[in-house]
A and B are shown apart, each in its own frame.
Chain A
């Protein structure tokens, strides 16, 4: 009996230890990747690199147009996707009755989020670039990216709206406010932090998306900054791909790719970190 008991205990210890090892190695693997990118890229980065134009067919100079290009694309995508997503979420949580309709809308959202990014690229190419004749441009790229992040924003807004306690709604309605007044003045303000978190997560995701912009917005090398929403742009993620995959002088271009990767990685990790902290803080506040 005594022997069997210690054996049970030993097995438990062994297996838990093994699971811990798997967990640590998973994090270590992901950490190694980030470490290597930083190790090779940090040396490239300087103020010059961030604020100057590329030169000599992208073999020298900085990545200013790629930073600005990504900024324009992301801003455009968020400006389009946020109202769409928030209004959709308001209907889903505040108005729609449980039933077939809401089930169909949910299926639509979850399937849209599963569409491969390259398929969004083809859609953008066919509709925005060709059919609506926006050309390869900031506009086409932003609209394509807006569709990519729409599900993220809808889900986050839905969660934020649902976490607003029902007492808020009934108090406002009892005071004689209409449903829309209640939403506008009570429910929406209370859910802003959650919606904002969703938007920030969306920014993080869309800043790194490459496949949707290859055919809709991105160009490898440009001597000038974009003039209007109909200009094609350089973008950070596409720049990394183009430098290592199609670049003609690797000795000069691969270091620039690593530098660009560090800039992109720092941006994305920082954005995600902010979103995660906001969510933790906000959910603690709600729990109290």
Chain B
């Protein structure tokens, strides 16, 4: 029989191993991506890979330039944010600051519930309902365009942005509001001069996380963006963002081939972009915590 101190120590160490599982998986993902994808960088060259717009993985000679795919991802994400940020932040302000509590207790859970709607459902709606509608409105040959992807991604990011921004605004201490009101400011002035500036870094965190979700979103863009690897110069034309390229082509790329490596190469770029987003979100979150704690 082990004595209890040894037993406690063993348990502690086993639990520590579990705690490192996330780090382990994250490291595993990085290793796998680079092991499978890095060869394409040495073969093609990083600048050629990033800045050439010839994505012809199955041609002879093949082209492995992802500039159009990368641009498509960026343009679609920006478009989605142009839609989601005003609606999302305005909703969050209204829910946390203006809406009476009895309604808030209904609206907030509803939005959290909607945050769980799977992306493939948005994809189905975008493909079969929004896209024919847009084709009719703009008289296009196809309704599967960058704009369709922007609208669907924007709508998808709404619940995330609303929910997190609302948390940020609600976290502003009530004493800040009371102080401002006591000095004679009305509720609007208090909101603009006191509440929003305090909550701003929390709202920024929400927006960055929404952007990260949008740029990494796969099924919706795969289904609605149209899939042509064109430069996104016109949002009424089809595009092929990075995630859609990986999902659409992985099935037909033989394991270990250059095409396979190039798709992992795209995943490396995608991973690095989301990593940067996460780091910025983390910094903004930290700043927010300091501000709210009144330091």
Which chain A residue lies CB-closest to B251? A215
Docked-complex contact A33 and B16, CB < 8 angstroms: no
> How many angstroms from the CA of A154 to the CA of B113 in the assembled complex?
20
Name A123's contact: one of B32, B87, B282 (CB within 8 Å): B32
Interface residues on B, range: 35 or more
Which chain A residue lies CB-closest to B89? A22
Docked-complex contact B121 and A261, CB < 8 angstroms: yes
Docked-complex contact B247 and A214, CB < 8 angstroms: yes
Docked-complex contact A119 and B270, CB < 8 angstroms: yes
Name B128's contact: one of A104, A125, A254, A268 (CB within 8 Å): A254
Asked if A168 lies at the interface with its beta carbon under 8 angstroms from chain B, I say no
Most B CB contacts (10 A, CB to CB) among A11, A34, A214 go to A214
Q: Which residues of A contact B21 (CB under 8 A)?
A: 84, 88, 150
Which chain A residue lies CB-closest to B127? A244
Name B110's contact: one of A19, A27, A115, A208 (CB within 8 Å): A27
Docked-complex contact B118 and A237, CB < 8 angstroms: yes
> How many angstroms from the CA of A107 to the CA of B281 in the assembled complex?
11
> How many angstroms from the CA of A244 to the CA of B22 in the assembled complex?
35
Asked if A55 lies at the interface with its beta carbon under 8 angstroms from chain B, I say no
Q: Mark A3-14, 1 if CB is under 8 A from B, else 0.
A: 000001101100
B window 96-126: CB within 8 A of A: 98-99, 107, 109-125
The interface-forming segment of A159-167, A186-194, A272-280 is A272-280
Instruction: Return A33 CB to nearest CB of chain B, in Å.
Output: 5
> How many angstroms from the CA of A178 to the CA of B93 in the assembled complex?
47
Q: Mark B203-235, 1 if CB is under 8 A from A, else 0.
A: 000000100100111110011000000000000
Asked if B1 lies at the interface with its beta carbon under 8 angstroms from chain A, I say no
Asked if A175 lies at the interface with its beta carbon under 8 angstroms from chain B, I say no
Asked, given contacts A111-B278, A115-B216, A180-B11, whether A237 binds B247 with beta carbons under 8 Å apart, the answer is: no
Name A210's contact: one of B95, B119, B162 (CB within 8 Å): B119
Asked, given contacts A122-B267, A215-B251, whether A37 binds B118 with beta carbons under 8 Å apart, the answer is: no
Interface size on A, residues (CB 8 A): 88
Name B8's contact: one of A15, A20, A115, A180 (CB within 8 Å): A180
Docked-complex contact B255 and A130, CB < 8 angstroms: yes
Asked if B4 lies at the interface with its beta carbon under 8 angstroms from chain A, I say yes
> How many angstroms from the CA of A154 to the CA of B18 in the assembled complex?
11
Q: Which residues of A contact B98 (CB under 8 A)?
A: 16, 19-20
Q: Which residues of B contact A211 (CB under 8 A)?
A: 218-219, 243, 247
Asked if B158 lies at the interface with its beta carbon under 8 angstroms from chain A, I say yes
> How many angstroms from the CA of A214 to the CA of B255 in the assembled complex?
15
> How many angstroms from the CA of A33 to the CA of B127 in the assembled complex?
12
> How many angstroms from the CA of A105 to the CA of B271 in the assembled complex?
19
> How many angstroms from the CA of A147 to the CA of B28 in the assembled complex?
11
Name A37's contact: one of B28, B124, B270 (CB within 8 Å): B124
Asked if B148 lies at the interface with its beta carbon under 8 angstroms from chain A, I say no
Docked-complex contact B155 and A119, CB < 8 angstroms: no
Docked-complex contact A240 and B121, CB < 8 angstroms: yes
Which chain A residue lies CB-closest to B29? A123
> How many angstroms from the CA of A118 to the CA of B247 in the assembled complex?
7
Name B278's contact: one of A91, A114, A209 (CB within 8 Å): A114
Docked-complex contact B112 and A33, CB < 8 angstroms: no
Docked-complex contact B222 and A30, CB < 8 angstroms: no
Asked if B287 lies at the interface with its beta carbon under 8 angstroms from chain A, I say no
Docked-complex contact A125 and B29, CB < 8 angstroms: no
Asked if A225 lies at the interface with its beta carbon under 8 angstroms from chain B, I say no
Asked if B26 lies at the interface with its beta carbon under 8 angstroms from chain A, I say yes
Asked if A25 lies at the interface with its beta carbon under 8 angstroms from chain B, I say yes
CB-defined A-B contacts under 8 Å, sample of 16: A11-B188, A19-B93, A20-B94, A23-B90, A23-B99, A26-B162, A30-B158, A37-B125, A91-B18, A104-B23, A116-B217, A119-B33, A126-B32, A214-B247, A214-B250, A272-B113
Q: Name B's A-contacting residues (CB within 8 A).
A: 4, 7-8, 11-12, 14-16, 18-23, 25-26, 28-29, 32-33, 35-36, 86-88, 90-91, 93-95, 98-99, 107, 109-125, 127-129, 155, 158-159, 162, 186-188, 209, 212, 215-219, 222-223, 243, 246-247, 250-251, 255, 263-264, 267, 270-271, 274-275, 277-278, 281-282
Q: Which 9 A-B pairs have the closest CB atoms?
A: A208-B118, A116-B216, A22-B90, A87-B18, A12-B188, A91-B19, A108-B23, A91-B15, A23-B91
